[in-house]
């Protein structure tokens, strides 16, 4: 997503093959990810000769939580946080409160990072290999 934000400026769509090459990942792998991101409205697909992908909304309005939740499902550390019905002990489990608090903390951290802020962080880091992004 950072790659898309960096290279998809001024409404220029980015090819998955270019992202795959820069990031050192399989294009097939990216096809699966981008399909889910497209269905979730995180990215837009543009068809045709000048086709590719663009962010579906401004980079400062896409959080790490948005992406992870879309690709992985609810951001909870144990299933009983999302649904107490998955465990017979949910109602009387003291540990469930700890898991709930930890899950909320993880979500809060992920909500605090937008694609725009990650692009800025990447630029500030000035990494030697500035093309490797993992979100």
Question: What Cα–Cα distance (Å) separates residue 95 from each residue in 53, 74, 105, 129?
Answer: 43, 19, 15, 42
Instruction: Provide the pLDDT for residue 11.
Output: 83
Residue pair 1/135 in contact (Cβ under 8 Å)? The answer is: yes
pTM: 0.82
Residue boundaries of the structural domains of the chain: 1-60, 63-113
pLDDT at 90 > cutoff 90: no
Model pLDDT for residues 2-38, shown as the tens digit of each residue: 999 999 988 889 999 999 999 999 999 999 999 999 9
pLDDT at 135 > cutoff 70: no
Model pLDDT for residues 28-81, shown as the tens digit of each residue: 999 999 999 999 999 999 988 878 999 999 999 999 999 999 999 988 888 888
- Give 6-33 as a DSSP string: HHSGGG--B-HHHHHHHHT--HHHHHHH
Model pLDDT for residues 117-134, shown as the tens digit of each residue: 999 998 887 754 555 555
Candidates 2.30.30.30, 3.40.50.300, 1.10.10.10, 3.90.180.10; CATH matching 1-60: 1.10.10.10
Instruction: Provide the pLDDT for residue 50.
Output: 79
Of 62, 58, 60, 20, the closest CA to residue 40 belongs to: 62
């Amino acid at each position: 997503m950072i790659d898309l934000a960096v290279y998809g400026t001024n409404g220029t769509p980015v090819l998955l093959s270019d992202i795959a090459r820069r990031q050192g990942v399989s294009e097939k792998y990216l096809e699966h990810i981008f399909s889910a991101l497209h269905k979730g409205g995180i990215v837009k697909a543009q068809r045709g000769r000048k086709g590719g992908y663009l962010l579906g909304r401004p980079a400062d309005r896409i959080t790490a939580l948005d992406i992870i939740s879309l690709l992985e499902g609810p951001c909870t550390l144990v299933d009983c946080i999302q649904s107490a019905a998955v465990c017979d002990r949910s109602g009387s489990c003291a540990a469930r409160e700890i898991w709930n608090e930890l899950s909320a903390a993880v979500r809060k951290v992920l909500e605090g990072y937008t694609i725009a802020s990650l692009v800025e962080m990447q630029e500030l880091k000035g990494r030697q290999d500035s093309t490797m992004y993992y979100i």
